[in-house]
Structure 1
């Protein structure tokens, strides 16, 4: 049995479109009810549940006469507009069988990437839970544009798990776990546990889902698991049909062990949800400082500034080749930084507002270097006259 599952008092469950819909794209009432049965049983034991549910666009396909997920944003928004109401109505009716209320929460990446919105989202979700309702979270596909989309609900679920201080994230799909190769290929083995990135070495991870109505694949699920486990939240990845076993702590799917501790809210936001407003290029010494979080970034370590950011904005911190090594919340405007760069001790990014994105580079060789021997010859006045008559600088 998985102890981390059994002791979790607040869980986030994410379910994909393919686990809720028919082949034609409409909602499958039986599948919805089966999922709700599992979640309601968890609620009956005192466990708080947040449901991150895909399916709005998929639910809107059949009513609009569409046979597959549209590629253009406008028709995706139209399908979401029709389907979101159908999806929540179905959840409302299904949870009502257990006397449970449903609260709809629609988010865009803006709600996670802006710190004030992030706090508001937490307060709203916490209050819904406190009042005994089940939050049903989805991306606000009706208004989300390409610039403010999460891209997939797996990543959204991982960020929501951190947002609500969840003890467990459960990712339900149409695949019963992570395999070391294509699950349809003979010889592929399911990974029962992942304790760190080293366990994923050599694993072939598919990039797309098996359904024509969803957007995620195994890549997005593994990335979501990394976000959550790095923040101290264990993850179960399994098929929706195994949801009962997953929440009961049985050995189903793939279990991702926590690999880190809960990060400060703004640091997780900074690493995984922020949209950098510009970039700052650093000296080699400054790169080592930020990568190892040994101190703040000072203006003396800045060699180049790009973008139109203001104090408080997230920026990318780059090495001399342009590789992104960290993100940080900048303390100076882009317009005032160039006159300080390279020589000022003004603080550009505080140490507590830095997130390294690469391993720290090896330390430079600090062994003392013998000074070069220089021979100096002093010219006579006659030699100066012959070498540079008429020159303003007799030493040339």
Structure 2
């Protein structure tokens, strides 16, 4: 069965001319392909770079600026120009588009995360095509390498897409850099993202883009761990989006994990910010990691940080120092401290429904990138 709900991520290098300016011809090609897929019954989301590329020329810059403030100003001008291009072309096919600007805070805050999910669901159900980008004008942290690769994976996971397509200027993951090693071979199907895969993906992207293959592997990790398969392919083909939607043979296809994380668990694993630390004994560590149990107060050895009721905290094995996962606490720091000191610690501190174990794959995501 072909993927019905697809998230496409199009990078700056797939939207620009050689001088770094926005290519209207490339935008027209992308919107034409989106229209064909839309008319065929697909639900589509486009995560698009290109705001800075669309705006820097209008501000008098001769080339893509390097300073953060100059990038933000260019994005402020370019965001409207870029959306205007997409909107005008899609309206020719009587397709409504919608602009959504997100930052990492929109994923970290549970209420904002739910609001974004609900808005996207309504747009898709109404036949609109959401066009998403980082809110580059006001963000600093988000203007980092690979931001829209990660963003597209977060969006694909949020809406439980059937496929995430990362379009770039190379046609997949290779065993070595194909530009310098003629013996490099493309990996057609990737079942698990291992340290070896990450090592193969090392290196930078093109001059106009902000992401390399490494950030795409990070995005693939987030998506596949959430149950969404990922296809990395070249945007240089004339009908790249159409080919990616209907067959995944000319790129690298990442198989989704069978037990993909649901929305609540995704939020806990990838976005929720820890407000403290809890150290537990070996019995509690085994109950959490191996037996799928809740964390009882009786298993707590030590606590750190001034967390409150229902905050998210990270739990560690006191003996090994290893991170076990994250969860939502049922008591604040002061209450837990009092109970531990009085040796009357009873009850559940973190319910298993509010807990996510840090698997080797998720741990790899945060330690190797």
Alignment of 1:299-318 (within 5 A): 299-318=297-316
Give yes or no for the alignment of 1:86 onto 2:85.
Answer: no
Report the Cα offset of residue 253 of structure 1. 0.5
The correspondence for 1:157, drawn from 141, 146, 152, is 152
Aligned CA distance change for structure 1 residues 322 and 146 (closer, same or farther; 3 Å): farther
Aligned CA distance change for structure 1 residues 136 and 147 (closer, same or farther; 3 Å): closer
Alignment of 1:1-396 (within 5 A): 3=1, 6=2, 8-66=3-61, 67-72=63-68, 74-146=69-141, 152-184=147-179, 185-197=181-193, 200=196, 203-211=199-207, 213-241=208-236, 242-320=240-318, 321-341=320-340, 343=343, 344-358=345-359
Report how many aligned residue pairs link the two structures: 353
> Which protein has the larger Cα radius of gyration, Structure 1 or Structure 2?
1
- In structure 2, the residue corresponding to 1:197 is in which secondary structure? coil
**Alignment partners' CA distance in 2, 1:355 and 1:150:** 27
Aligned CA distance change for structure 1 residues 147 and 189 (closer, same or farther; 3 Å): closer
Moved more, 57-66 or 199-208: 199-208
**Alignment partners' CA distance in 2, 1:154 and 1:110:** 16
- In structure 2, the residue corresponding to 1:336 is in which secondary structure? helix
**Alignment partners' CA distance in 1, 2:340 and 2:255:** 43
Question: Which string of whole-angstrom CA distances, capped at 9 and with x for unpartnered residues, describes residues 322-369 of structure 1?
Answer: 432211122221222222338412322111111111459xxxxxxxxx
- In structure 2, the residue corresponding to 1:263 is in which secondary structure? coil
> Contact (CA 8 Å) 2:157, 2:222: kept in 1 or not?
no
**Alignment partners' CA distance in 2, 1:33 and 1:334:** 55
Report the Cα offset of residue 170 of structure 1. 0.8
Aligned CA distance change for structure 1 residues 262 and 294 (closer, same or farther; 3 Å): closer
Aligned CA distance change for structure 1 residues 244 and 198 (closer, same or farther; 3 Å): same
**Alignment partners' CA distance in 2, 1:149 and 1:306:** 31
Report the Cα offset of residue 152 of structure 1. 0.9
Report the Cα offset of residue 166 of structure 1. 1.4
Aligned CA distance change for structure 1 residues 129 and 359 (closer, same or farther; 3 Å): closer
Aligned CA distance change for structure 1 residues 143 and 263 (closer, same or farther; 3 Å): same
> Contact (CA 8 Å) 1:11, 1:168: kept in 2 or not?
yes
Q: TM-score, normalised by structure 2?
A: 0.88
> Contact (CA 8 Å) 1:194, 1:200: kept in 2 or not?
no
Question: Which string of whole-angstrom CA distances, capped at 9 and with x for unpartnered residues, describes residues 147-203 of structure 1?
Answer: 898961111111111222211111111111111111212211110111123595585
Aligned CA distance change for structure 1 residues 150 and 50 (closer, same or farther; 3 Å): farther
Aligned CA distance change for structure 1 residues 309 and 58 (closer, same or farther; 3 Å): farther
Q: TM-score, normalised by structure 1?
A: 0.82
**Alignment partners' CA distance in 1, 2:194 and 2:142:** 33
